[in-house]
Structure 1
Amino acid sequence: MQVHERLIKLLFQTLLSNVQKGRFLIEGVERDIDIFKTEQLGNIIRVMFYLDDFSGAVTHAALLDRDNAILVSGPTNFYKENDGFMYVFDIPIIAEGVVA
């Protein structure tokens, strides 16, 4: 089977239209943060969050869809100071045998 470029475009569009927000564990409190920006870089979808309203240890990050289901999640280990901070999820879409 060959994957056509149209399918790849649809996958990117569907993912971007369903990603709703990020959830971050900051100082032990779950905080939902709105998406700052999304973009497609080749075969990578980049979803960016600007963490500016909170400070403290950030120990977990998750990307949620419009039903609040987790799409991507994992532990983090950084300390957010009082100044702004950009957190980025890079999600690669890998398909073999793509034809234009």
Structure 2
Amino acid sequence: MQYPSATGHYYRTATSPPKPVWVRLDAILVRDPGKPKHVNGAGVHMSGERPGVLSHWVPTVDGEWLGRVTYSLQYADGRPDLHIRDQLVPAYALRPRGSSSSR
């Protein structure tokens, strides 16, 4: 929801309560076409979706929206997840995570 002030500033963009979302990792990290892949067994998985929590919407000067999201990434070597807090994620990389979802 948008709440512009008299000067055009958007405020009250917090989602209350925070909303569960899916973060589309493939949409966050886009590979350059033709770039060779180098497998790193200690890297983080950047494909598929991860559950997250959306706390705010942040507008850009170009009219796009970014969600402020907390989520985690899985390491390929089995280490404990890497927790990402308050990361700005483009709206197109987020989708609602309903209670009936099986993911």
- TM-score, structure 1 length as denominator? 0.32
Tell me: higher relative CO, structure 1 or 2? Use CA pairs within 8 A at least 6 residues apart.
1
Question: Per residue, is there more helix in 1 or in 2?
Answer: 1
